[in-house]
């Protein structure tokens, strides 16, 4: 059974890989048609041979044909048993639908498998190898070099940024397994040692400072001031300004990770997860408005433990200065959250899961999902994080070229993935504020994430580490 798919494939991203995988499940041979740039109209495409080569490198694809003449002729020659077409074409007149009807062929409308699977991206696909040592190939392939990075990093040192978000303590507890309980069949662990790290939005602030920016961090703390000394002393040493609101109704969030042989086996979260009191919310708004007027960049690092109220982003955006850039990352995992509170933001970083939950969209393919998310929330720049599959990005900036793209994960042997999104948020938001394109910001953010996941615990990524890797 031969299956046929066609498209532009300007950048082969994880959404395409999923579509190829879905198509291969329908037949034994996958033939992919790549539209010629001569018939693309106003769409800017990479050269035909580069796109044909990129698709052909994928191990799921058996044959690639360049569509540089009428599609009906191509279909007659290929003679597929099944044609796969995007769901947006269902019910509309297309050449594929006409061919299928005339020749009694099956046409299936699908965007591929929308569910995330780390096996979607095969090692021998068109993606560049994900080890850090392969980074030079990625950079040379997009015409980007160390000198350009240096320019961006120099500009980042001029950025005044305010980070707003939850203060979290991350505790790593190394344990020794004693055996299996005979009473209830649970594994019994014995703590050996532990280490405490500043987590949540605090590490985003430290990443921003490590990259050279002038940083102020706004958060809330409990009335008891638990762990406040650690936060204040660390920030004093690193040159980060701390602003906070005391809230009598809140207790410190502490995330405990119980680890055995370098792997987390169990997690425990302690502390208050509700909203701040009304009085504290007003104080957060007052200080936030003051700091945003003094900043080039405002970053909402939202872990949904109550520091950022539902109305705070909209209130600060409403009173923004024309030249202040706003960015956000709203983490939804074990917590309840909603990306729609960041409607109108300049830059949004989100996981695929967060996007699907907030958009109530289970079935959209990745390319459509990021477009739907960006347009629905009126976001100018958007990154969709795909875990081990890297990320895809999309921009509404008319000057951006390319407007969409994909960056593979740059470290395929992560030690601790917990802080990847925080480092990516800081690096990409600062880069955009410093004049980088979203494409450049996505690369720099991916490098920061690759550095971060190569070690255990939340340590700030620095500009020297970035430039060393590049």
pLDDT tens column, 42-71: 666 778 888 888 888 888 899 999 999 889
* pLDDT reading at 354 higher than 60: yes
Q: What is the mean pLDDT of residues 257-278?
A: 85
- CB burial readout 245-259, b (16+ within 10 A) else e: bebeebbbbbbbbbb
At 121 the pLDDT is 30
Q: Tell me how far the alpha carbon of residue 118 is from its chain's centroid.
A: 15
460 within 8 A of 419, measured Cβ to Cβ: no
* pLDDT reading at 180 higher than 80: no
At 297 the pLDDT is 97
Q: What is the mean pLDDT of residues 178-207?
A: 84
Nearest residue to 118 via CA among 388, 366, 411: 388
For residue 48, count CB atoms less than 10 angstroms from its CB and return exposed for 0-12, middle for 13-18, buried for 19 or more: middle
At 18 the pLDDT is 78
At 379 the pLDDT is 96
At 124 the pLDDT is 32
Map out the domains of the chain with their CATH numbers.
Answer: 2-127 (3.40.50.620), 136-168+200-251+271-469 (3.40.1190.20)
- More confident of the two residues 266 and 244: 244
Helix (H, G, I), strand (E, B) or coil at 347: strand
**pLDDT one-digit tens code per residue, 56-115:** 888 889 999 999 988 989 999 999 999 998 877 888 888 889 989 899 999 988 765 443
At 182 the pLDDT is 74
* pLDDT reading at 283 higher than 90: yes
- More confident of the two residues 171 and 428: 428
Beta strands 253-260 and 263-270: pairing type? antiparallel
At 119 the pLDDT is 31
At 128 the pLDDT is 30
Q: In what helix (H) or strand (E) does residue 442 lie, and over which residues does it extend? A: helix 438-452
Portion of the chain with pLDDT greater than 90, in percent: 42
Sign of torsion, CA 356 360 363 369? negative
At 40 the pLDDT is 64
Q: What is the mean pLDDT of residues 334-343?
A: 84
Weakest-pLDDT range from 101-105, 205-209, 309-313: 101-105
* pLDDT reading at 224 higher than 80: no
**pLDDT one-digit tens code per residue, 254-264:** 999 888 877 78
- More confident of the two residues 222 and 206: 206
Portion of the chain with pLDDT greater than 70, in percent: 90
* pLDDT reading at 425 higher than 80: yes
**pLDDT one-digit tens code per residue, 16-25:** 877 888 888 8
């Amino acid at each position: 059974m031969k299956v046929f798919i066609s498209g532009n494939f300007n950048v082969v991203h994880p959404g395409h890989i999923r579509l190829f995988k879905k198509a291969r499940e329908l037949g034994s041979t996958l033939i992919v048609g790549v539209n010629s740039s001569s018939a693309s109209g106003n769409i800017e495409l990479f050269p035909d041979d580069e796109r044909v080569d990129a698709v052909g490198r994928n191990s799921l694809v058996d044959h690639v044909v360049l569509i540089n003449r009428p599609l009906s002729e191509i279909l007659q020659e290929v003679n597929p048993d099944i044609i796969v077409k995007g769901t947006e074409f269902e019910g509309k007149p297309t050449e594929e639908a006409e061919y299928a009807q005339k020749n009694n062929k099956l046409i299936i409308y699908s965007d591929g498998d929308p569910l995330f699977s780390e096996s979607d991206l095969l090692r021998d696909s068109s993606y560049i190898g994900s080890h850090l040592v392969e980074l030079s190939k990625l950079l040379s392939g997009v015409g980007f070099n160390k000198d350009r990075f240096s320019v961006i990093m120099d500009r980042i040192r001029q950025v005044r940024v305010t980070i707003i978000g939850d203060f979290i303590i991350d505790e790593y507890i190394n344990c020794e397994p004693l055996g299996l309980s005979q009473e209830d069949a649970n594994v019994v662990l014995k703590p050996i040692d532990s280490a405490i790290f500043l987590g949540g939005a605090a590490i985003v602030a430290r990443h921003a400072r490590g990259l050279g920016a002038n940083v102020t961090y706004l958060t809330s703390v409990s009335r008891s001031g638990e762990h406040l000394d650690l936060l204040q002393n660390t920030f004093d040493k690193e040159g980060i300004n701390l602003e906070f609101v005391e809230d009598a109704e809140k207790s410190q969030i502490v995330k405990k990770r119980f680890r055995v042989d370098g792997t987390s086996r169990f997690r425990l979260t302690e502390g208050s997860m509700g909203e701040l009191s009304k009085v504290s919310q007003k104080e957060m708004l007052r200080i936030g408005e003051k700091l945003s007027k003094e900043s080039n960049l405002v970053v909402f690092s939202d872990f949904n433990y109550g520091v950022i109220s539902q109305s705070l982003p909209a209130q600060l955006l409403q009173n923004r200065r024309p030249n202040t850039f706003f960015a956000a990352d709203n983490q939804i995992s074990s917590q309840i959250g909603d990306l729609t509170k960041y409607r109108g933001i300049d830059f949004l970083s989100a996981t695929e899961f967060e996007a699907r939950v907030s958009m109530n969209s289970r079935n959209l393919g990745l390319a459509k999902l990021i477009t739907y998310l960006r347009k629905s929330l009126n976001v100018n720049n958007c990154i969709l994080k795909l875990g081990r599959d890297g990320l895809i990005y999309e921009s509404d900036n008319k000057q951006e070229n390319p407007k969409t793209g994909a960056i593979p994960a740059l470290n395929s042997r992560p030690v601790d993935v917990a802080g990847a999104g925080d480092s990516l948020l800081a690096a990409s938001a600062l880069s955009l504020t410093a004049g980088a394109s979203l494409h450049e910001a996505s690369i720099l953010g991916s490098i920061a994430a690759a550095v971060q996941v190569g070690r255990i615990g939340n340590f700030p990524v620095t500009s020297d580490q970035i430039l060393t890797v590049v």
